[in-house]
């Protein structure tokens, strides 16, 4: 039986590269997207051309009804879920806390925190031996921002990722005897479109000198860490926060 992996926010960036790598390693992959269906379908087409199995799954992780539908759609198309990568995430414009609107804070936590927890809840319901499941693996994509704090840029994002870290530690303990491992990857600065989405297309060049390796990471370098945490090689690893950040 192939493993069935749902990756949230897999229409581009780290999620898309993780989907391709997972499919190449034999996972059947649910490629979730929020808005850009064409991009998600392109990820799926690339996987199928390589002989892999994937489907595009629509849904906003911040909307509970969407999350319920995403998991049902994934299961219907690919079979029982064995793995989840909570990758969907957003930043916002560079701002100090005294400039942040309540609407911004709502969105920041709705996507990055509530979305992660809602998806993990649905995964646990399906994977936990307590609910008759076969076990499984959850990987949350956090950020080194939770350690650094991102002052003057987006402390709200850093705080949301801090919540993801603590959720990872707690959930790992909660389901440790139910066949489920839960870990987080904390990327440093990685070459994706997320920086332009936050109004800082030059962020890679600006931050690179602060990284001990003096370069940004590439999405496949994060995907490799995620795939390791999903794999049986990480069978004794749970509750870990794995920094993949060029030493930063």
Site size toward ligand NAP (CB under 6 A) is: 31
Closer Cβ to ligand NAP, 6 or 127, answer by number: 6
Closer Cβ to ligand NAP, 107 or 179, answer by number: 107
* Min CB(12)–ligand NAP separation in Å: 5
Q: Which residues contact 12 (CB under 8 A, 6 or more apart)?
A: 36, 39, 43, 192, 193
Longest dimension (CA), the chain: 52
Whether the CB-CB separation of 163 and 105 falls below 8 Å is answered with: no
Tell me: does residue 52 bind ligand NAP (CB under 6 A).
no
Closer Cβ to ligand NAP, 81 or 111, answer by number: 111
Please identify which residue in 36, 101, 106, 177 interacts with ligand NAP, judged by CB under 6 A.
36
Tell me: does residue 19 bind ligand NAP (CB under 6 A).
no
Q: Is 33 a catalytic residue?
A: no
Tell me: does residue 60 bind ligand NAP (CB under 6 A).
yes
Residues 157-186 that bind ligand NAP (CB under 6 A): none
Catalytic residue among 27, 33, 154, 157: 157
Closer Cβ to ligand NAP, 107 or 125, answer by number: 107
Tell me: does residue 11 bind ligand NAP (CB under 6 A).
yes
- Residues 20 and 52: their CA atoms lie apart, in Å, by 9
Tell me: does residue 187 bind ligand NAP (CB under 6 A).
yes
* Min CB(190)–ligand NAP separation in Å: 4
Judging by DSSP bridges, how do beta strands 83-86 and 136-141 pair with one another? Answer: parallel
Closer Cβ to ligand NAP, 127 or 184, answer by number: 184
Please identify which residue in 38, 174, 193, 233 interacts with ligand NAP, judged by CB under 6 A.
193
Backbone angles phi, psi at 221, to 5 degrees: -75, -25
Whether the CB-CB separation of 92 and 153 falls below 8 Å is answered with: no
Task: Compose the 70-89 pattern: x for residues touching ligand NAP by CB under 6 A, - for all others.
Answer: -----------------xxx
Whether the CB-CB separation of 86 and 118 falls below 8 Å is answered with: no
Tell me: does residue 34 bind ligand NAP (CB under 6 A).
yes
Positions marked active-site? 157
- Where along the sequence are the contacts to ligand NAP (CB under 6 A)? 8-15, 32-36, 60-62, 87-90, 111, 115, 141, 143, 187, 189-190, 192-194, 197
């Amino acid at each position: 039986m192939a493993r069935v992996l749902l990756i949230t926010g897999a229409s581009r960036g780290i999620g898309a590269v993780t989907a391709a790598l997972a499919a190449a390693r034999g996972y059947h992959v649910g490629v979730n997207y929020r808005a850009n269906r064409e991009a998600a379908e392109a990820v799926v087409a690339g996987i199928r051309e390589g002989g892999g199995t994937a489907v595009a799954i629509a849904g906003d992780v911040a909307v509970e009804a969407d999350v319920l539908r995403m998991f049902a759609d994934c299961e219907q198309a690919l079979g029982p879920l064995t793995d989840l990568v909570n990758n969907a995430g957003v930043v916002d414009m560079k701002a100090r806390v005294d400039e942040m609107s309540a609407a911004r804070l709502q969105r920041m936590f709705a996507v990055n925190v509530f979305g992660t927890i809602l998806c993990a809840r649905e995964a646990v319901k399906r994977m936990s031996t307590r609910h008759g499941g076969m076990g499984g693996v959850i990987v949350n994509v956090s950020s080194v921002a939770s350690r650094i704090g991102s002052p003057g840029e987006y402390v709200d994002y850093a705080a949301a990722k801090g919540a993801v870290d603590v959720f990872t530690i707690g959930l790992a303990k909660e389901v440790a005897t139910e066949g489920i491992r839960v870990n987080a990857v904390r990327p440093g600065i990685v070459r994706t479109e997320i920086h332009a989405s936050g109004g800082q297309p030059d962020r890679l060049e600006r931050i690179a000198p602060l990284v001990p390796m003096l370069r940004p990471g590439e999405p496949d370098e994060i995907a490799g860490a995620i795939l390791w945490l999903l794999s049986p090689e990480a069978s004794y690893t749970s509750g870990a926060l794995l920094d993949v950040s060029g030493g930063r």
